[in-house]
Amino acid sequence: MNIKIYQIDTNRDNVGAKFQPLDHLKDKKVDASLYNEVFKGDVESNSLEDVFKKFNTDGHPLHRGHSLSVSDVVKLEENIDNLESGFYYCDSIGFAKIDFDESLVHKQDNLMQILYVEPHRKPFVSEIEHTLDAEQKAVGGLIELVYNEDGTAIICNEEGKLIGLDGNRRIGNGSSIIAGSFFVVGLTEDDFCSLTDEEVQKYMERFSEPEEILEEDVQNDMGFTIYYG
């Protein structure tokens, strides 16, 4: 399910709206200008309650905010079950559908547009802070670059195969396997940058279908063999 998550920036909250139930807000109106966008992407959830549980306890590697709490806003990008697409306020009990002017929301300046690819799932477009900490968090460890021939790169976990992460996608005409989640990013002469929309589309098609890769295939692709005497 495709969602966005917005959270109040304490530095702009001059009315004490953060962590307040909807009933405590004047006329129950939510001021979108107080909010930052802290997540955009596709999550394996079937309800807003699932989203709350995931982002309140488990978290997500691309989430840039605090644990999901009262006063946060979740945007559903499409209808799910008996819920219409739109904006939902995380209240003291459950979620309430609200009016929310998304154009007033703030976004960080150092975000890059990426394509994020998880094992067993379809890829999705998201954004990531251009910091080493955020990039390592996204892949769950030390980063490794796999250069493409078109001015983009795959960023994956350098130790993904060693620590037993699930096989994700085959690359190099099927000759190599990436284990664990990875993302595709643009390149400048000496740095990372956002993917263009054309590059997003190219790699969305390239990695569109999840691949079921056996654990033994991942192990065989580790590049070395251990011999026992």
114-133 average pLDDT score: 97
Q: What confidence tens digit (pLDDT) does each residue in 80-114 have?
A: 888 899 999 999 999 999 999 999 999 999 999 99
Distances (CA, A) of 108 to 14, 17, 49, 128: 20, 21, 27, 10
Local structure of 138: helix, strand or coil: helix
Q: Is the pLDDT of residue 227 over 80?
A: no
Instruction: Kindly tell me if the per-residue pLDDT of 225 is higher than 60.
Output: no
Question: What pLDDT, on the 0 to 100 scale, is given for residue 88?
Answer: 98
Q: How many CA atoms, within 13 angstroms, populate the side-chain half-sphere of residue 123?
A: 25
What's the pTM value of the predicted model, to 2 decimals? Answer: 0.91
Question: Mean pLDDT of all residues in the chain?
Answer: 93
* pLDDT band, residue 223 (cuts 50/70/90): low
**What residue has token string 């975000």?**
111
- Domain borders along the chain are 2-104, 111-220
Contact 52, 68 (CB under 8 A): yes
Strands 192-193 and 124-129: unpaired
- Asked which of 8-12, 97-101, 172-176 is least confident by mean pLDDT, the reply is 172-176
Task: Answer for the pair 204, 125: CB distance below 8 angstroms, yes or no.
Answer: yes
pLDDT, position 175: 80
- Does 224 score more than 50 pLDDT? no
